[in-house]
Amino acid sequence: MFIHVVRPIVAGGNQTATSKIRVLCWIMTGPKYLNSRTRHIRDTWARHCDKVLFMSSVETDFPTVGLNVSEGRDQLYWKTIRAFQYIHRHHLDDADWFLKADDDTFVVVENLRRTLSAHDTEEPLYLGRRFRPFMAQGYMSGGAGYVLSKAALRMYVAALDGGTCTHNTDIEDMALGMCMDKLKVPAVDTRDKLGRHTFHHMQPDMFVVRQPLRARAWYLLYEYYTLVEYLTYHLRPYGYKYRYDPEEHADKIPTPS
């Protein structure tokens, strides 16, 4: 299972402020993945969302919402369109922020709330892992999950209803990004204050280079932000103490007798 962690786990913090951030999580899935993937999301991180919806081609007692579309990669953007229209029609007032995630994604919802707490949901905003090709402001990776503010959701559905945005490509994340770009909805920089990404589009071991790459990995071509600085200054193994100073522990080193 791919794991896309929205933010490193943080202990403590202002839990009262972040707990007021209401997040609706909708999971894009299909009938054949309910047992192998989706049930694990339902039983783990989805419990931390204020509202969770599992969007599929058909309605089931899992439960899933039936979107009346076919299955297949060429149907992903139709699923996305129908899902956001359904949410706008039935659940707009149930949350402040609206997270789309795939059924192979893992999210630390508490830390997502912390990220969102710095923003106003009544401003049109679009957050996720920012890719750079095809449009000036880039677009958010579908695999990492992305978030629309309430204002952005309203604008998106209105644009679909009015024909400003249409189903013009099967590539779901790029298509939504093109609509956001057309509507002038800003793509928010979701890196933390140290420049570290908080949304990840690949499983963790893809970011640990075991040997020099023979060819530039495809996903590096999509990075909106420069990776050299991230790999040099910010990437650390878990448990590594940043800028360890041996002099700090000099008094603890036993002296020869």
Taking only the tens place, the pLDDT of each residue in 18-55 is 778 999 999 999 999 999 999 999 999 999 999 999 99
Q: What is the pLDDT of residues 155-175, one digit of tens each?
A: 999 999 999 999 989 999 999
Q: Which residue has the higher pLDDT, 8 or 185?
A: 185
Average pLDDT on 206-216 reads 59
CB neighbour burial string for 114-126, b if at least 16 within 10 angstroms, e if fewer: bbbeebebeebbb
State the pLDDT confidence band at 5, using cuts at 50, 70 and 90. Answer: very low
The sign of the CA dihedral 7, 9, 14, 16 is: positive
Three-state DSSP state, 68: coil
Three-state DSSP state, 187: strand
Crossing angle for the helix pair 172-182 and 76-90, to the nearest 10 degrees? 60
DSSP string over 214-245: SS--GGGGGBSS-HHHIIIII---TTPPTT--
Q: What percent of the chain has pLDDT over 70?
A: 73
Evaluate if residue 70 carries a pLDDT over 90. Answer: yes
Among 9-18, 26-35, 82-91, 174-183, whose mean pLDDT is lowest? Answer: 9-18
Which DSSP category does 255 fall into? P
Q: What is the pLDDT of residues 246-257, one digit of tens each?
A: 556 555 555 554
Q: What span, in angstroms and rounded, lies between the C-alpha atoms of 218 and 173?
A: 16
Evaluate if residue 85 carries a pLDDT over 70. Answer: yes
- CA neighbours closer than 13 Å in the CB half-sphere of residue 8: 13
State the pLDDT confidence band at 212, using cuts at 50, 70 and 90. Answer: low
Q: Which residue has the higher pLDDT, 230 or 138?
A: 138
State the pLDDT confidence band at 136, using cuts at 50, 70 and 90. Answer: confident
